[in-house]
């Protein structure tokens, strides 16, 4: 199988034995998933694809990963992410996890900021050279070293809505309250009274919705495809002394047949730099299967996004609870019958 994505096409032409290497933050690519080595990713969908092929795949937050980390990993390829701060965190994490001198390659699209790694590596005291360039992508190589910075320092906190929110690079709304989420929170009290409702926060990010709901007495389950977001939500709930469950999962995949009184969300529509309506479409179209009769889906979205058609298909109707021309808050209710 040939590589499908430009950055993997660049790697495919390297005269190098990648057996046993770690592929860190990899894209979906059949050549990678059918090849050698192990995936390390915060994206549950990527990990699921690798495991479905019987390939080793880990989250950096897996309890079992540290025990295997030093067991002769011959090298690492880090796919440079859209969020440079997340890329810097990956570097610190790798330097803390693996022995000094471990070969490291950094790959990415030129438009995605891969050339910035030269300054990042220099600031960490790590040398670097360009190995190859093709398909509008670049590949750099260096070796890991001790950099004297703890990856834990990437975590930050801020205050919003009377809550302490814990955030991490690469998590939606990192370090601030999103305007769409603020509009959603303004409308929720009118449709979701206080009490012991079973509420699902889908795409939980830093946990603002989960914590706000838990503070009002809801029994909250929070889900995100991004393991950093799930860890951030757990820390946010703990920082505020609130109870709630946070799970890593691709939309509803981690929930089985559980049903809820309400589902709330500020669903994403980007995958790196590309627009991707897929997860939001699944969130809406599969919502009735995860709601109790009379249960409701309440979401906020950019006003231009084509969600009304999806809501009509899934529920047979919906209401617009708010529209400030930038964002709309939608409510759809599952029939009682």
In order along its 337 residues, the chain shows pLDDT tens digits of 799 999 999 999 998 999 999 999 999 999 999 998 999 999 999 999 999 999 999 999 987 676 566 568 999 999 999 899 999 999 999 999 999 999 999 999 999 889 999 999 999 999 899 999 999 999 999 999 999 899 999 999 999 999 999 999 989 888 889 999 999 999 999 999 888 789 999 999 999 999 999 999 999 999 999 999 999 999 999 999 999 999 999 999 999 989 999 999 998 764 544 555 678 999 999 999 999 999 999 999 998 888 999 999 999 999 999 999 999 999 999 998 7
| Torsion angles phi and psi, residue 4, rounded to 5 | -105, -35
Q: Which residues of 10-32 are buried (b: 16+ CB within 10 A; e: fewer)?
A: bbbeeeeebeebbbbbbbebeeb
What would the two tokens of residue 242 be? 């609130």
Residues 235, 167 contacting (CB under 8 angstroms): no
Residue 220 CB contacts under 8 Å (≥ 6 apart), including other chains: 199, 200, 201, 210, 213, 214, 243, 244, 245
β-pairing, 76-79 vs 103-109, is parallel
Q: Please, what are the domains in the chain?
A: 6-152 (3.40.50.150), 155-333 (3.40.50.150)
Residues 128, 122 contacting (CB under 8 angstroms): yes
Q: What is the pLDDT of residues 122-145, one digit of tens each?
A: 999 998 999 999 999 999 999 999
Q: For the whole prediction, is pTM greater than 0.75?
A: yes
């Amino acid at each position: 199988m040939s590589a499908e994505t430009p950055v993997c096409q660049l790697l495919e032409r390297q005269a190098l034995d990648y057996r046993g290497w770690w592929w860190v933050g990899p894209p979906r690519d059949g050549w990678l998933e059918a090849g050698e080595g192990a995936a390390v990713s915060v994206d549950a969908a990527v990990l699921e694809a690798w495991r479905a092929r019987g390939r080793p795949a880990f989250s950096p937050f897996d309890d079992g990963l540290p025990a295997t980390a030093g067991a002769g990993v011959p090298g690492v390829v880090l796919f440079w992410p859209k969020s440079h701060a997340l890329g810097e965190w990956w570097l610190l994490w790798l330097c803390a996890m693996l022995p000094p001198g471990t070969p490291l390659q950094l790959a990415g699209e030129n438009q995605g900021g891969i050339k910035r790694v030269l300054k990042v590596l220099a600031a960490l005291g790590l040398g670097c050279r360009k190995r190859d360039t093709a398909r509008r992508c670049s590949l750099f190589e260096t070796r890991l070293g001790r950099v004297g910075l703890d990856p834990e320092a990437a975590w930050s906190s801020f205050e919003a809505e009377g809550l302490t929110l814990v955030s991490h690079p690469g998590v939606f709304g990192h370090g601030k309250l999103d305007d769409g989420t603020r509009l959603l929170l303004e409308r929720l009290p009118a449709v979701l009274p206080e009490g012991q409702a079973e509420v699902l926060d889908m795409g939980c990010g830093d946990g603002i919705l989960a914590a706000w709901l838990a503070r009002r007495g809801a029994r909250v389950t929070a889900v995100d495809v991004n393991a950093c977001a799930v860890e951030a939500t757990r820390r946010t709930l703990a920082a505020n002394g609130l109870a709630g469950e946070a799970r890593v999962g691709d939309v509803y995949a981690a929930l089985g047949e559980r049903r809820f009184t309400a589902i709330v969300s500020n669903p994403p529509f980007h995958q790196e730099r590309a627009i991707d309506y897929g997860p939001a479409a699944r969130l809406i179209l599969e919502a009735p299967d995860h709601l109790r009769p009379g249960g409701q889906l309440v979401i906020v979205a950019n006003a231009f996004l084509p969600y009304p058609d999806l809501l009509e298909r899934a529920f047979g109707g919906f209401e617009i609870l708010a529209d400030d021309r930038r964002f709309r808050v939608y409510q759809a209710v599952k029939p009682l019958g």
